[in-house]
Every structure is written in structure tokens, then in C-alpha cells.
Amino acid sequence: MALLELRNVSKIYHLGGEEIRALDDVTLDIEAGEFCSIIGPSGSGKSTLMHILGCLDSPSLGTIKLDGVEIQKASTSQLAHIRNRKIGFVFQFFNLLPKLNVVQNVELPMIYSGIGGKERRERALKALEMVELGNRLKNRPSQLSGGQQQRVAIARALVNDPKIIFADEPTGNLDTHTGEVILELFRNLSRQGRTVMLVTHNPEIAAVTPRRIEIRNGKIADKVDTRLAGLDRLAAAAAKSAAAGAH
Amino acid sequence: MGLWNAIAVGFKEIWAHKFRSLLTMLGIILGVSSLIAMSALVEGMEKGSREALVAVGGLQKFRIESQPVPVEQRHLRDFATGVTLGDVYAIQNNAPEVLKISPEMRMEPSPTLSANGKNFRTWSTAGVWPVQLEMMEHNIEHGRCFNEVDDEQARSVCVIGTGIRDELWGNPEETGKEIIPLGQTLTINGSPFTVIGMFEHYESDQDRKTRLLRKAEEAERLASGLTNAPTGPKRMRGWGGNRRGGFAFWIKNNTVYVPLNTMWIKLLSGQTNTPSDKRLSEMEIKVRDVDKLELALSEIRNVMMVRHRGIEDFNVRTQEDWAEQINVFIKNARLSGGLIAGISLLVGGIGIMNIMLASISERIREIGIRKAVGAGALDIFVQIVVESTVIALIGGIAGVGTSYGLIQLIIAFTTTDNAPIVTVSSMAIAFGASAVIGVLAGLFPALKAARMNVIQSLRYD
């Protein structure tokens, strides 16, 4: 049984009497432990897909099973509960609370799952050690660099030990080098057996994941566009080195 | 999210916007303190009124006085005698519920009193039986009261209140010693009378406290060797120090009593058309049991109707009317005061709601983040309600503190006899009202915040 099962999921918006299908009959399985990316140009529906996968939104049609439980009919409060226990989010703009310091930000999800103060602190410290920020506990987000803020956000996503982590353009607001450090962090998480979903429009980032799901016009593209995913360059490079070897 | 966490977050939020929160609280502070001050004022007034009521004899007592004949009996007015001494005897003999009865014959208009080279026109100069002293709760402090012999022989003796002494011989605070004018001669409209007794000085609790305090300060000043006593002529204090609450006491202090017969023979001779029966200004009656007031009243009414042959030239006035008036007045004061305070609390509540609405639209993104990491609608709702309640409660506590200052301010500006009385229950009610308003003001903003869409609020800038 897959961790996430989508069956014929559609998301339909009505704008001025016109029906817009942001997602159109998507069927998709994501297995536990997968490291996977969702790619597609802006407006393709990849954000909508992530919102539905991440329980931020409910589908208009179709069924979705997370961890064996059907959730397409869940109320907003039930979705909040699921997000709290089973899902971690990392956003492009970090989305840390500016008034709280690093530890308090990481503790935030545990406050809503009713974990006591002492255990909260211990688990937050452990998560911060994992992203190598154990020395910046009392700083406010505004006193940290972009990369550090994103690592705090990752610690926050990890702290409740979720089934799946969603990262929405996690490197979009970072320079190339810092972006690579963050990607390396996700790769490590994947190696530890966590399920990680990267949402991006950047093929080079998508290239780091073993599986790529491409969205176009609200549908999953049958065949991954190698050019878009940057695979053609990899293939070309491989062909080139093979040719060089033949000489 | 636990309640403690919500409260901690609430305090943090208030601390982050200190000035804004203070301004918001100001409405509640004013509301709470005005509610407490209002109730303290009314409480003080009530106490003053009750004191005055007791000072004139309480509910057991009432009065019968002459009144003009009613319109439908105008043709009988030549037979109207008014209240007479004969009526007093008749009631004494025929109304068993009556405990005491005391006739009073006043000089109208009130006469000029002269002594010690000074003239003075007092509130009331009356001829009475000695029983009047018990009736009006008078106590002789110096000398004696006139007795039945003085009355029988119509001797020219009188008993005075301290107010008369103050005017004619000088009051103790100005002269520095207590003058007791026993044996002195006082003329009433020119007729000489000997002062044989003087009442004690009547004053309200508040007046007594003020006077003793002033005395203590004076003694301290003299002891410290400073003699910057005020110089120049004494200022006129006016009628009873312009103090309404002390009026009942002022009247008592400005009383002159002479024996009833003396009044009749020496002062009022020839002023009546019923020489056979002595006409009275009024009579005071005290009943045995206040619960049987109605029975006593009907007994007295029957006796009077028989004696007056059905002519209603008398009027029965009970203190109940007065007590009722006091109650009505207190009720009105409480209602209007409560209304004003309630409105200011309401305005304070609207202020809180306004600031909470501003606060949540400032924190849309924060709410989005909290929801994304797992805060349910209820968590957000509770957080906003707690924040507004915390503001209101801090305002409530500050208001209770401020009310003390407000009451001091009111005392300083209005020299009222009835010192405001702050009751614990009024404080509790005001504080409770602030809590309720805090919760109510938070409901709508909290609902709005709880209903925000996660995705939209995460994207909000």
C-alpha cells in the first residue's frame, strides 16, 4: 500500500461562471521513503497538487488516501490535525514567525499537538542539531541568513516526525551555493528513509530526485520531458564521455 | 494549544504593542473606574440618607398637621379647627397602638431671638411637652429640660440647641472654649426667657470625623509652636455649611423649645379663633410596632374624623413617604450612574474589538503559518479571544486601582457630606464586567481569524 494514493483527483474553480480545472483527473501513488519532485511551469497546477497532497486543501472530486486513511472528506480542523502529525512543510519564503526566536519557531508545531514544555524543548534542540543550528537558539529569524532561516524551517518540519515532508521551491529564495547545501540536506533526509517531495519549476533541482512527476495543464504528463527535466544534458554528457572513451 | 500557552502568547502580543494596548485598555480602565466610583457615591448617599432618617426618629414616627380644607368641603371651612390639643388627648385615650404623642405649637413666622447683644432668626421655635425630646431623639447635655410644673405654670424657660448658642454666644471652634449659656436670658420676640438646658451637638459621622481631624491638626500646629492662624473676619459659612446631607442635623441644632402652655399664653395669645381649644401646628406620634403602622393609622384617622366631624382639615405624613423617596432617589441614581458607566464600558469593548480586528489583519500571514503547522480553527479562535480578554482584564485591574484616585478627585471637587463608600461587591462586579466585555469583544475577530483560508493567508503579503 502506498503512503499517498490519489485516485481521479480533480480541483475545480469557478471564476465568473467559467469552470477552471486546476487539477484534472490525477491518479498518483507515492510510496513511503520516496524522494520525488513535482515539476512544471507556473500555472500548471503543481502548487494545487502540492496543497492537496499536503492536506492544505481538499479535492473537488476523487479520493485521496494518506497512510491508509481517506481524507478527501475531512473538515478543515481534521486537516489541521493531519498536517500537524503527519506532514512537514518547507516554504520558499521560510515562513518563520518573526516575533519568536529559533527554538520557539521550531517548537510551534508541538504546541499544537499538546506536547509538554520539557519534551518540546528537547525535541526542538535535537531537530536543530540535525540542521547544524544548535548554536543559534535565541536568535530571531531576522538575525539569520536565508540559508539559516531555511534550515530552521526544515527543523520545524521535522520536529513532529512527519510521514512526509513537502518542500515548495525551498531554494527559490537562496543563492546557488546555499541552495545546494539545502538540497544536500533533503538528500540526507531521504537517505535516512524519510519521504520527501520537492516542488519546483527548476529542472536542475528536479534532477537530484530519482522520481520526477511533471504536471502540465492540470494533468500528469505521460512521459517526462527530458529536456525540461534537464535529463537531456545529463544524457548528452554521458554520451560525450562515452565518445571520449571510445577514442 | 493549552490555555497557558494562549495566555502567554496574549501577553507577548500586548507587550509587543505597548502603547496601542494601553490606549485600548484606557476605555476599559475608565469604564471600570467610573462604575466603581458611581456605586461608591450612591452608596455614600444612601448611608447619609439613612442616617438622617434615623436622626429624625425612624419609620415608627409620623406627624399630623393642619391643612386647608379640601375643595369639596370649602363650604364647611368655618367649622374647621385644624389640629388641636383636644385631638391629642382624644388620640391618647382612644388609639391603643399609639406609644407616644407629642403636640407642637410653632411660632410662624419664626421669631427673632436676642441675647448677648445679638439677634438671630432661627429655624424653629416651638412650644412642646417634655415628651417631645424623646420623640425627636433630643438629648440634654447641659442643664435640664422643663417639666410638667413649668408647663402648668407657663414659666418663661427654654431649652436650646447648640446652633442657637453658636449664633448668639459664639461657637466653640471660634471662641476656643465651649460656652454653656445656662441661666442666661434669651428674648423671644422681646419676651425674656431663661435658658435652663442645652442639647448635645448633633452631627453626621462624616462631620464628626472632619471636625476631630481639624482639631487634631490645630493641636499639632499649636504644639509645634507655629501660630499662623487665619486672620481677618471669619467667613460666613452659610446655612448649615451649604450641606444638604447635614440638613436634618442642622435643623435639630437650631431648635428652641419652650413649654407648650408658655408658648400659648405668653407668645401666641390672641392669634387664634378657637379660644376653647388650643390650636397646634402639628403633632408627632410614635407607634408601638412598626409592623402595625397601618392599624395605628386607621385608629388615629377614625378618632380624628369623629372629632373633626368629617372635615379633612388635617393631614397625616409618615416617614414612609420619605423613606420611599430615598429609595426611589437611590434607585434612580444607581440606574443613571450604572448606565453611564455601562456605556463607557461598552465603548471600551468596541475599542478592544476594533484593535483586535486591526491586529488580525496585521497577522494574516502569522495565522496562515500557525494553521499550516497544525493549528486548528479552535486554536486560533481561543488565542484571539484570550488576547482580547487579557487586555480587558489588565484594564479591569488598572480600573479598580484608578477608581481610588477618581473617588479622591470627586471628594476634592465636591464637598459632600456623604463620603463615597467603595464596596467589594462593586469592585467584583466591575471587574467581572470587564472580563465579560473582553470575551465578547474578542468573539467576532476570533471568528474571522479562525475562518481564514490557509493557502490564501500563507500567500498574503
> C-alpha dihedral over B1, B5, B10, B15, to 10 degrees?
-150
Q: Does A121 touch chain B (CB under 8 A)?
A: no
Is A119 inside any structural domain?
yes
pLDDT tens digits for range A1-42: 788 888 989 998 888 888 888 888 888 888 888 899 998 888
CA of A100 to nearest chain B CA: how many angstroms apart? 10
CA-nearest residue to A52 within chain B is B455
Q: H or E stretch including A246?
A: helix A231-246
CA-nearest residue to A157 within chain B is B373
Contacts of B374 in chain A (CB under 8 A): 80-81, 83-85, 109, 112-113, 160
Find the length of chain A: 247
Residue B348 to residues A19, A74, A151, B12, B239, Cα–Cα distance (Å): 47, 40, 44, 21, 43
Contacts of A163 in chain B (CB under 8 A): none
Is A103 inside any structural domain?
yes
Report which of residues B245 and A22 the model is more confident about.
A22
Start-to-end CA span in chain B (Å): 26
Type of residue numbered B205? D
CA-nearest residue to B2 within chain A is A114
CA of A192 to nearest chain B CA: how many angstroms apart? 22
Contact B377 A160 (CB under 8 A): no
Cβ atoms within 10 A of the Cβ of B30, count?
Answer: 20
Q: Which domain holds residue A214?
A: 32-60+75-227
Whether the Cβ atoms of residue A71 and residue A54 lie closer than 8 Å to each other: no
Burial A42-54 (b: 16+ CB within 10 A, else e): eebbbbbbbbbbb
List CB contacts of B362: < 8 A, sequence separation 6 or more. Answer: none
CA of B3 to nearest chain A CA: how many angstroms apart? 11
Q: What is the mean pLDDT of residues A125-148?
A: 88
Contact A108 B2 (CB under 8 A): no
Contact A113 B374 (CB under 8 A): yes
Assign A32 to helix, strand or coil. coil
By Cβ distance, the residue of A91, A112, A156 closest to B379 is: A112
Q: Does A119 touch chain B (CB under 8 A)?
A: no
Type of residue numbered A121? R
- What is the CATH number for A38? 3.40.50.300
Whether the Cβ atoms of residue A212 and residue A224 lie closer than 8 Å to each other: yes
Q: What is the mean pLDDT of residues B113-118?
A: 87
Q: A101-115, B114-128, B231-245: which range is least confident on average?
A: B231-245
Is A53 inside any structural domain?
yes
Predicted pLDDT of residue B239 = 44
CA B65 to CA B84: how far, in whole Å? 10
pLDDT tens digits for range B185-207: 999 988 899 999 999 888 877 77
Q: Does A56 touch chain B (CB under 8 A)?
A: yes
Q: Could you tell me which of A210, A201, A174, A163 has the C-alpha nearest to residue A47?
A: A201
Angle (deg, nearest 10), helices A102-112 and A76-86: 130
CA-nearest residue to B12 within chain A is A99
Looking up cell 486537516 gives A79
Predicted pLDDT of residue B196 = 92
Q: What is the mean pLDDT of residues B414-427?
A: 78
Q: H or E stretch including A29?
A: strand A18-30
Contact A112 B375 (CB under 8 A): yes
Q: Could you tell me which of B106, B279, B273 has the C-alpha nearest to residue B188?
A: B106
Type of residue numbered B118? K
By Cβ distance, the residue of B2, B373, B375 closest to A156 is: B373
By Cβ distance, the residue of A76, A108, A114 closest to B373 is: A108
Predicted pLDDT of residue B95 = 85
pLDDT at B461 over 60: yes
Predicted pLDDT of residue B242 = 41
Residue B104 to residues A144, B77, B87, Cα–Cα distance (Å): 95, 23, 12
Angle (deg, nearest 10), helices A102-112 and A146-158: 30
**Triad A182, A184, A185: Cα angle to 5°:** 65
Contact B373 A85 (CB under 8 A): no
Contact B373 A76 (CB under 8 A): no
Dihedral class, residue B217 (left if φ above 0, else alpha if ψ from -120 to 50, else beta): alpha
Is A89 inside any structural domain?
yes
CA A197 to CA B127: how far, in whole Å? 109
Cβ atoms within 10 A of the Cβ of B386, count?
Answer: 25
Q: What is the mean pLDDT of residues B221-236?
A: 59
Confidence of residue B240 (pLDDT cuts 50, 70, 90): very low
Predicted pLDDT of residue B241 = 45
Predicted pLDDT of residue B355 = 92
Contacts of B372 in chain A (CB under 8 A): 56, 83, 89, 95
CA of A72 to nearest chain B CA: how many angstroms apart? 17
Q: Does A65 touch chain B (CB under 8 A)?
A: no
pLDDT tens digits for range B360-394: 999 999 999 999 988 888 889 999 999 999 999 99
CA of A244 to nearest chain B CA: how many angstroms apart? 50
What ipTM is given for this predicted complex?
0.87
CA of B381 to nearest chain A CA: how many angstroms apart? 12
Q: What is the mean pLDDT of residues B84-92?
A: 87
Number of domains in chain A: 1
pLDDT at B268 over 70: yes
CA-nearest residue to B363 within chain A is A97
Predicted pLDDT of residue B236 = 47
Dihedral class, residue B343 (left if φ above 0, else alpha if ψ from -120 to 50, else beta): alpha
Report which of residues B271 and B241 the model is more confident about.
B271
**What is the average pLDDT score of chain A?**
85
pLDDT at B243 over 50: no
Is A237 inside any structural domain?
no
pLDDT tens digits for range B292-348: 888 888 888 888 888 888 888 888 887 777 778 888 888 898 899 889 888 989 999
Confidence of residue A232 (pLDDT cuts 50, 70, 90): low
**Whole-number percent of chain B with pLDDT over 70:** 91
Q: What is the mean pLDDT of residues B221-237?
A: 58
Start-to-end CA span in chain A (Å): 49
CA A54 to CA A46: how far, in whole Å? 12
What are residue A106's DSSP bridge partners?
A: none
Q: Could you tell me which of B243, B275, B259 has the C-alpha nearest to residue B125?
A: B259
DSSP state of A154: H
Contacts of A112 in chain B (CB under 8 A): 1, 370, 373-376, 379
Instruction: Say if residue A153 is exposed, middle or buried (CB neighbours under 10 Å; 0-12, 13-18, 19+).
Output: buried
Please provide the DSSP assignment of B290-347 as one string.
GGGHHHHHHHHHHHHHHHTTT---EEEEEHHHHHHHHHHHHHHHHHHHHHHHHHHHHH
Contacts of B362 in chain A (CB under 8 A): none
pLDDT at A191 over 60: yes
Contact B374 A81 (CB under 8 A): yes
Q: A97-106, A138-147, B84-93, B218-227: which range is least confident on average?
A: B218-227
By Cβ distance, the residue of B16, B365, B375 closest to A80 is: B375
Contact A112 B16 (CB under 8 A): no
Q: What is the mean pLDDT of residues B52-80?
A: 80
pLDDT at B218 over 80: no
Is A55 inside any structural domain?
yes
**What is the average pLDDT score of chain B?**
84
By Cβ distance, the residue of B1, B378, B455 closest to A56 is: B455
pLDDT at B229 over 70: no
pLDDT at B159 over 90: yes
Q: Could you tell me which of B85, B90, B66 has the C-alpha nearest to residue B259?
A: B85
Predicted pLDDT of residue B197 = 92
Contact B374 A112 (CB under 8 A): yes
Q: Does A160 touch chain B (CB under 8 A)?
A: yes
By Cβ distance, the residue of B2, B366, B376 closest to A80 is: B376
Assign B11 to helix, strand or coil. helix
Predicted pLDDT of residue B441 = 94
Predicted pLDDT of residue B282 = 87
Instruction: Say if residue B369 is exposed, middle or buried (CB neighbours under 10 Å; 0-12, 13-18, 19+).
Output: buried
pLDDT at B58 over 80: no
Contact B377 A80 (CB under 8 A): yes
**Whole-number percent of chain B with pLDDT over 90:** 21
Report which of residues B210 and B95 the model is more confident about.
B95
Q: Could you tell me which of B446, B435, B358 has the C-alpha nearest to residue B17?
A: B358
Contacts of A83 in chain B (CB under 8 A): 372-374
Identify the contact set of chain B against chain A, taking CB-CB distances under 8 A. 1-2, 5, 12, 16, 365-366, 368-379, 454-455, 458
Whether the Cβ atoms of residue B29 and residue B349 lie closer than 8 Å to each other: no
Q: Does A93 touch chain B (CB under 8 A)?
A: no
Report which of residues A218 and B276 the model is more confident about.
A218
